[in-house]
Structure 1
Amino acid sequence: MGEGGCRPYRHRPLQHRRRGRTGRRADRRRAETGCARTEIRMTLAALRPRFSGHETFACRFAWLPKAIRLITRDSRALSDDERAILELGLGKNMVRALRFWLEAFDVASVEAGTWSLLPFGEAMFGDNGLDPYIERAETQWLLHWRLSTAVENPLFAWRHILYRRMRPDFTRSELLAEMRAEGERLGYEHSDVTLLQHADVFIHSYLGSLNPASPEDALDGPLVDLGLLRRLGRRRGADRIEPVFTLTRIPISEIGVGVVNYAIASYWTARRAGESVVTFRDLAHGEGSPGATLRMETDDLRDHLERSPAPWSYRPSGDAGSVIAVADLDPARLLREIYT
């Protein structure tokens, strides 16, 4: 068996030259297809994307600071439903959602009922944190970055909408059909209710609640102000007219040069560790890349790389080009520099 459990292609001579070529191509296609399917399964097993856990609630602005103060006072309090409900002033399902978002934003983790801040959470929200109350736009961009670029256990809707779709616009029914097909292709089967709730959480995270049923529902979260998603009229679907949503492109001047530099270094160390060269195409369009995650225009990112004094050098080459690391990449240092 070859790498990944696929049998390596072995040529078996055929009697006729023309048929032999065709046979070899067919054998190779079968081998490559089998390997591709195995790779999909292996990649999926490593990713283990999440479809639920948020209890259908998008994260609210006040949730992260509240939870971090509670964790700082008592690292086990958040694991106790009754105490967390009392201390945070939230319902049981919202407490569960808050736990989910703490981990999804890479802010905190729990082990055996004990919560602790992760390095990003400690730097941003711990003692002497850089922005403990999420008062700066850069912090909101960083939260979007951490949420969207998880290598393990990524949120399925985020991964699909930001990195897998070709078009920026969609309706809820279109998104549901795509997510159902993508999930089945990867070997996951979820009910339409679960998939649609998951898609709605993405929409509500960036647009706020469209039809708030309570005062709590009307409270926006830390990602709404980014302007990454907007409504774009309506169009007819299979059986009804629906709102259309579209992802927008954001200029670097609105994101912040420091956030972009941090994103480049973070992407490089997380997904290209040990490599001294990354293609511009990967930085602009790859899964988890700064260009795709922060919704930057390609020319805007290229101009930034050409002008940036950061620890890399851009080498243009036709339509592609490459970026070369010329010094140590230190996301933690670049994170601090955003707030200096």
Structure 2
Amino acid sequence: MQLDPRSTSFGRHETFPLRYGWLPKGFEAIEEDPQTLHKPEIAMIKLGVGRNMVNAIQYWLQTTGIITIDGGGAHATELGKMIFAADYNGGDPYLEDDATLWIVHWLIASNATQATGFFWFFNRYAAPRFSDKELLEGLTDFVNNTLNQKKRSQNTLKSDISAITRMYAAVPGRTDEHLDSPLTDLGLIEADPHSGYRSLRTNRPFLPVTALHFALSQRFAAEPEQPALPVRSLLYGDDGKASPGAIFRLSESGFMEKLEQLMGTYPSCYELRDTAGVNQLYRGSELPDPLSILEHYYRSSL
């Protein structure tokens, strides 16, 4: 949620982007046996993947906040149970709901500690069109000059660039569609025949307002002493904090339209005010925590 140069991570996905089925299957496996991910031979059979993929599945489960790991093994978080557990009412155990996918994306791209490369791309990299080479140059500059980590391996940074583009960009002619990430459906990165890729800020009318509600609630929860957050920070994230506007690739007009829609639906949760010339979003008296937002959404979707 907040970038800290002392706590960063690159390339821990073993070069594997998040794939269809990994989060549900990984969650189910650790619910059956919390030690599954610590038993590679058993995990390989149960999950139907190779050893490196087992590590990648564990990484994505942790990065999305679906599980935590300690000496006693892996344990489902309340968030993980809310989405995947069969004994919860509602939920989205097969990741079929667009709102869940947008929230999974937010959880990854806002995780500055465990997915620093993804956090950098969605919160700090502003070029609308780019190539793999330009992305690597941008990430290298960020690592060297902002994080002051000049000894980072170029191969590690390249693996993050590859994971970002493969996880979000649907590439024409690819023959392994069944293995692609569900996040390609969000349209946040597209193949561009002229410059490699494009990632444009747009109005995104199909962004579920619940995803923005969840993200804003997490931002407020991360700063409980703050009654309001600057709209600029929420739009651009140039203060080292996760930005819903940037992560969802919303234009300014698109962000404000979604915010107006959100405030119309939940009038007691947010209020926009101009304070001393600064446009700020105030937390309302009835702003729920992120899990309550998700629970209400799933129950109302039944």
TM-score normalized with structure 2 length? 0.87
- Whether the 8 Å CA contact 1:162–1:292 is kept in 2: the answer is yes
Q: In structure 1, give the amino acid aligned to 2:163.
A: V
Q: Does 1:283 align with 2:241?
A: no
Partner residue in 1 for 2:79: 120
Q: In structure 2, give the amino acid aligned to 1:173.
A: K
Instruction: Find the residue that maps to 1:43 and give its secondary structure.
Output: coil
Instruction: Find the residue that maps to 1:223 and give its secondary structure.
Output: helix
- Whether the 8 Å CA contact 2:203–2:255 is kept in 1: the answer is no
Partner residue in 1 for 2:281: 323
Instruction: Find the residue that maps to 1:322 and give its secondary structure.
Output: strand
Residues 47-66 of structure 1, C-alpha deviations (whole Å, 9 max, x = no match): x2211121111111111111
Q: In structure 2, give the amino acid aligned to 1:63.
A: W
The 1:154–1:78 alpha-carbon spacing in structure 2 relative to 1, beyond 3 Å, is: closer
The 1:223–1:264 alpha-carbon spacing in structure 2 relative to 1, beyond 3 Å, is: same
The 1:97–1:113 alpha-carbon spacing in structure 2 relative to 1, beyond 3 Å, is: farther
- Whether the 8 Å CA contact 1:259–1:338 is kept in 2: the answer is no
Aligned CA-pair RMSD: 2.3
Shift of 1:137: 0.9
Shift of 1:281: 1.1
Shift of 1:316: 4.1
Gap regions ≥5 residues in structure 2: none
Q: In structure 2, give the amino acid aligned to 1:72.
A: E
Partner residue in 2 for 1:34: none
Residues 272-311 of structure 1, C-alpha deviations (whole Å, 9 max, x = no match): 2221111111221123121111111212222333451431
1:147 to 87, 98, 108: 108
Q: Does 1:197 align with 2:159?
A: yes
- Whether the 8 Å CA contact 2:10–2:114 is kept in 1: the answer is no
1:180 to 130, 140, 145: 140
Residues 119-161 of structure 1, C-alpha deviations (whole Å, 9 max, x = no match): 211211123261011011111101001111125x142221221
Q: Does 1:108 align with 2:70?
A: no
Q: Does 1:273 align with 2:224?
A: yes
Shift of 1:250: 4.5
Shift of 1:329: 2.6
- Whether the 8 Å CA contact 1:106–1:120 is kept in 2: the answer is yes
Instruction: Find the residue that maps to 1:44 and give its secondary structure.
Output: coil
Residues 145-198 of structure 1, C-alpha deviations (whole Å, 9 max, x = no match): 1111125x1422212211222322211111112222221222222222221111
- Whether the 8 Å CA contact 2:202–2:254 is kept in 1: the answer is no
Q: In structure 2, give the amino acid aligned to 1:220.
A: D
CA separation in 2, counterparts of 1:154 and 1:99?
A: 12
Shift of 1:76: 0.8
Q: How many residues align?
A: 285
Instruction: Find the residue that maps to 2:191 and give its secondary structure.
Output: strand
CA separation in 2, counterparts of 1:318 and 1:202?
A: 39
Partner residue in 2 for 1:43: 4
The 1:113–1:91 alpha-carbon spacing in structure 2 relative to 1, beyond 3 Å, is: farther
Partner residue in 2 for 1:28: none
CA separation in 2, counterparts of 1:137 and 1:78?
A: 28
Shift of 1:225: 0.4
Instruction: Find the residue that maps to 2:194 and give its secondary structure.
Output: strand
> Percent of aligned pairs with the same residue?
26
CA separation in 2, counterparts of 1:306 and 1:337?
A: 20
Shift of 1:208: 4.8
Which structure has the larger Rg over C-alpha atoms?
1
Q: In structure 2, give the amino acid aligned to 1:76.
A: Q
Partner residue in 2 for 1:6: none
Q: Could you tell which deviates more after superposition, 155-164 or 54-63?
A: 155-164
Shift of 1:264: 1.2
2:125 to 150, 165, 190: 165
Instruction: Find the residue that maps to 2:69 and give its secondary structure.
Output: strand
CA separation in 1, counterparts of 2:242 and 2:203?
A: 18
CA separation in 2, counterparts of 1:283 and 1:191?
A: 32
- Whether the 8 Å CA contact 2:130–2:197 is kept in 1: the answer is yes
Q: Does 1:300 align with 2:254?
A: yes
- Whether the 8 Å CA contact 1:209–1:218 is kept in 2: the answer is no
- Whether the 8 Å CA contact 1:60–1:219 is kept in 2: the answer is yes
Instruction: Find the residue that maps to 1:324 and give its secondary structure.
Output: strand
2:38 to 62, 73, 79: 79
Instruction: Find the residue that maps to 1:231 and give its secondary structure.
Output: strand
